Structure 1
């Protein structure tokens, strides 16, 4: 590991802009102080890898409206509660009587709905390829148990189309390589990124989540600069083909659709919605096609596409903090702004990584 750190610190080639598109990678890069271990010519930027962060404002507004309807109860994970809608968050709406309940697993819906048939339970189904199979299993179990009072409001995204969109943007500082998402790749397989690597002539490296694994993947991206190749460095969990059982479950219940991304608008084929066969379980997901930001000063859209660093946002660390978030990127523990705000000292990170390597 010492050799890898020395290589990354001594790199003096052309400036490289490398993007990670996984919320866990974003958090671990910050926790390990990895940016402080790199040459100034290697720039790390966070892409649209946090599912909460890329969820549009209209989605929050729709959940609030559903939660205010008699008989409905919105069910969600804790990090969704504080994401700002156009006028308030789910947490603020709950204080005013909106029916919202927090759970730790979508499967908790089965017990809630089964024991309370007089209510309709609407789950805020947000996520990428990693979590979509869980929602497929939820529906399978609901159907098997004859539970009919469950609905999903989906904001389910898939990675390749949004990466294609980012690469096709031809922004001033284009991306020179991608740290491919480890969790997503477990489901999709590393082959999901091969076409993009060839199309744009840039490397993709599938990485694990330890500091050493991330640094090794970054070093591989630097060495592969300008080469359209996909490399799997997370072979303990990722294969080229991916999890075929999970893929089949998703195929059974969901189908591709256009989807709205925060700061990027509608990207064709980038979402998953319930098939017509199961539309009785849908809470209006196909109608969510608007991307509007509540706070015009919030730079979340630019942060998600790598055009703006969190510290460049005029609200960052001032009115926008983890205690008073103005945008989704400061709410989620996987958000780039949250992790930038809570970043640790690079010196301490270097000591931790090298100590673990001994």
Structure 2
């Protein structure tokens, strides 16, 4: 980035911060539910520019972080089977399951065939190259990556592949926002919503959330000016007592969203209740395969229990408070293990693993000097 552009960004952010300070007349508690926004806030120090009383907390904005321990345990069970090639995105290899220290990277070190993919469609080439093996793709992500998994399955069916299945862990953001608002002791008074989810799904579901719970929501992107402008708009709505939905990311997000992506989702997936790590079961919080694609369900192919039916893991003797962090009830520095027992190299909790996790963001940008 050139010095001139940096200066322009800093100047615009400062202008918006001044407007925000002039607008906020009382304390407000706001939450962003996007890991990219969390990293932008910390990288650019936006939270340090907020007026006194304006509190910004971080929600469960990282799909890797909220993938349930039960789903990771299912992947671990499959990874050690000699007939299986287990593949997923890089961050997933280090997310802990229900047992302390157990992750897919460890399964690979123990001899499991665990592979890293950068695109779901690579699983097709892998299945074609290894017809004698069963390829299982651990599919994670919000509504932004779910269409790519749906496309994978559509193409796999067209090709007649019988050695490819998915272990589905896609989650839906708006139901999680609703669940947070219904928690006892909830303090969230307004949301910054993820622009990349809105680009796919549009704004209708967020509008329903606003009408049902009477809280303002502003859709925005990930650049510092985007985030500060959205915070200003959110505080303006709160100060006016107007629980409305605002789209501050109009260059990307349209009300109707991406029709082609939504059609793919409807063709392949059905909305179901799903457990989120740190939040528990969420009504409508995820996807399962529709009947026409059920043959690609790894849980059915390998006779594994669904996540909702799996027994909860035993409590771990760990200082990690990642559950509270994912709920927005604590910040990473509040954790006694942060930066000492828990680091990106040796993570105790999922938010320290993923590049989008709040703990990883704080460790990168706010780690105390040694």
Superposition TM-score tier, normalisation by shorter sequence: over 0.9
Residue 269 of structure 1 aligns to a residue in which SS?
strand
- Over aligned residues, Cα RMSD in angstroms? 1.7
1:109 counterpart residue number? 123
Check the 8 A contact 1:8/1:37 in 2, yes or no: no
Q: 1:92 aligns with which of 101, 106, 109?
A: 106
Q: 1:212 aligns with which of 217, 225, 246?
A: 225
CA 1:133 to 1:12, structure 2 compared with 1: closer, same or farther past 3 Å?
A: closer
Q: 1:271 aligns with which of 279, 282, 286?
A: 286
Q: 1:254 aligns with which of 269, 277, 299?
A: 269
Check the 8 A contact 2:198/2:219 in 1, yes or no: yes
Matched, 1:5 2:5: no
CA distance in 2, matches of 1:238, 1:128: 16
Residue 180 of structure 1 aligns to a residue in which SS?
strand
Check the 8 A contact 1:167/1:175 in 2, yes or no: yes
Q: 2:42 aligns with which of 26, 30, 35?
A: 30
* 1:197 shift after superposition: 1.2
Q: 2:252 aligns with which of 222, 237, 243?
A: 237
Matched, 1:42 2:61: no
CA distance in 2, matches of 1:218, 1:344: 21
Check the 8 A contact 2:62/2:357 in 1, yes or no: yes
Structure 2: runs of 5 or more not aligned: 1-11
Matched, 1:58 2:70: yes
1:222 counterpart residue number? 235
CA distance in 1, matches of 2:354, 2:286: 21
1:70 counterpart residue number? 82
1:356 counterpart residue number? none
Check the 8 A contact 1:33/1:344 in 2, yes or no: no
Check the 8 A contact 1:84/1:294 in 2, yes or no: no
How many pairs does the alignment contain? 344
Give runs of ≥4 in structure 1 deviating > 3 Å: 9-12, 290-296
CA 1:295 to 1:221, structure 2 compared with 1: closer, same or farther past 3 Å?
A: farther
Q: 1:136 aligns with which of 133, 150, 155?
A: 150
Check the 8 A contact 2:219/2:249 in 1, yes or no: yes
String of CA shifts for 1:32-69, please: whole Å, max 9, x gaps: 11111111311111111100110111211111110111
Check the 8 A contact 1:295/1:326 in 2, yes or no: no
Matched, 1:80 2:92: yes
1:322 counterpart residue number? 344
CA distance in 2, matches of 1:294, 1:193: 36
Structure 1: runs of 5 or more not aligned: 346-358
CA distance in 2, matches of 1:260, 1:193: 21
Residue 260 of structure 1 aligns to a residue in which SS?
strand
Residue 126 of structure 1 aligns to a residue in which SS?
strand
